[in-house]
Amino acid sequence: MSFVLTLTVLVALFGLIYWYRSRGSGKVIKTNHEYFSRLWLWPKGEHTRWEAEFDLESELSAKTVGLYAEDNYETCVNPEPTSDEVVFAKHYLSDLELLFPLVESSVREGWKDWFKEDLPECWKKEFVVDGFSVPRDGNAIDAW
């Protein structure tokens, strides 16, 4: 019984030391941006470099469109959106209709799988743009 108690105390002690030493590192930073409504910068090692929200009054949006950087410090050393990434975001946020042709085949396939019927002709009326990823340096050839 004393072995289990000793082991439990040691694990708790090491856990406390680990927590204390790492509590300040790796924090997500919320910051202001000249274009995005809200911007979060993620630390290295996380799933993304930055995430943003853009408030948009449009019948094609959910009032706020979320964006995130696909590149997690693979080529960019700074967490902030590059100017090319902002240009890319502006392009699609200025006309959300531009996104629909890019996703139509996937939506058509998903609709068929889920509902066992063909996608209706007026399918765009059933969807709003909730968000999209921004490729590395705004290069649409890269994954996004």
Under DSSP, the state recorded for 96 is G
Domain residue ranges in the chain: 26-138
| pLDDT tens digit sequence for 89-131 | 999 999 999 999 999 999 999 999 999 999 999 898 888 899 9
Dihedral sign for Cα atoms in the order 16, 18, 22, 27 = negative
Strand, coil or helix: 79: coil
Tell me the pTM.
Answer: 0.75
| pLDDT tens digit sequence for 4-41 | 556 565 555 556 565 555 555 568 899 999 999 999 99
| pLDDT tens digit sequence for 39-80 | 999 888 777 899 999 999 898 988 999 999 976 667 677 889
